[in-house]
């Protein structure tokens, strides 16, 4: 069973083969299930967020006035404004749940929304930069899960462990790699082949 979150904040249950299971049907750990669930939520709302930002100005004055009025102001939001606010909340909450493993408070979600999403008065360059921040966050989640999270938050096949002696000693002793492996609950031999080539190069150069 898996939980899907729509751009309007609604929840739905999904059952079927692969829901809650990793590659080959192997059950995910609790931490991996949390990563998969909330990363999937992020991926499901991202296309709608990108679409809205391409055809509608989320930094416009009208949206700012409506947002400043709280619940009553929601009636003054455009349909685009309501969708954007709902999707941004889903994405921002998902990041917090992945980072902390605990339920997120609304003030915490609001701070993340301000960090990653367009706010009243933001320049186009600022909106584009926040889009980049969201992309970088999603990429870092994939690396932290040792490649287990593919598009849609679904677990991907993990490459077989590297043969003994093929992992450089500098990698085995790297504190960042050790931390990522602990968080993903895999061995370094499983983690290493699933890191991006760019990340591997940074580690080998001693930049991580």
Residue 20, in any domain of the structure: yes
Q: Is residue 160 part of a domain?
A: no
Same domain, 58 and 108: yes
Residues in CB range of 174: below 8 A, 6 or more apart: 203, 208
Q: Are residues 100 and 125 in the same domain?
A: yes
**pLDDT (tens digit, 9 = 90+) per residue, 26-66?**
565 666 677 777 888 888 899 999 999 988 888 876 555 44
DSSP per residue, 7-52: TTS-EEEE-STTTTB-GGGPBPPHHHHHHHHHHHHHHHHHHHHHHH
Query: What pLDDT, in 10s, does the model give residues 70-90?
Result: 444 454 568 888 899 899 999
Check whether residue 180 and residue 121 sit in a common domain. no
Q: How many domains does the chain have?
A: 2
Give the pLDDT score at 66.
Answer: 47
Q: Is 164 inside any structural domain?
A: no
pLDDT, averaged across the chain: 72
pTM, 2 dp? 0.56
Are 14 and 55 found together in one domain?
A: yes
- 91 and 59 housed in the same domain: yes
Q: Identify the domain containing residue 56 by its residue range.
A: 2-153
């Amino acid at each position: 069973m898996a939980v899907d979150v729509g751009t309007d904040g609604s929840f739905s249950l999904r059952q079927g083969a692969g829901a809650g299971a990793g590659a080959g049907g192997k059950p995910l750990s609790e931490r991996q299930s949390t990563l998969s669930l909330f990363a999937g939520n992020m991926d499901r709302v991202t296309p709608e967020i990108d679409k809205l930002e391409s055809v509608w100005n989320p930094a416009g004055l009208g949206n700012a006035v409506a947002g400043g009025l709280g619940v009553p102001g929601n009636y003054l939001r455009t349909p685009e404004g309501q969708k954007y606010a709902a999707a941004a909340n889903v994405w921002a909450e998902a990041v917090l749940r992945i980072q902390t493993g605990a339920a997120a408070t609304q003030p915490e979600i609001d701070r993340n929304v301000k960090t990653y999403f367009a706010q009243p008065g933001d320049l186009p360059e600022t909106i584009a930069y926040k889009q980049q921040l969201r992309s970088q966050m999603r990429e870092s989640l994939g690396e932290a899960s040792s490649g287990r999270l593919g598009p849609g938050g679904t677990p991907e096949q993990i490459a077989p462990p590297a043969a003994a002696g093929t992992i450089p000693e500098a990698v085995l002793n790297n504190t960042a790699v050790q931390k990522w492996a602990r968080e993903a609950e895999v061995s370094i031999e499983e983690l290493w082949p699933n890191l991006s080539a760019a990340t591997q190069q940074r580690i080998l150069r001693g930049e991580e």
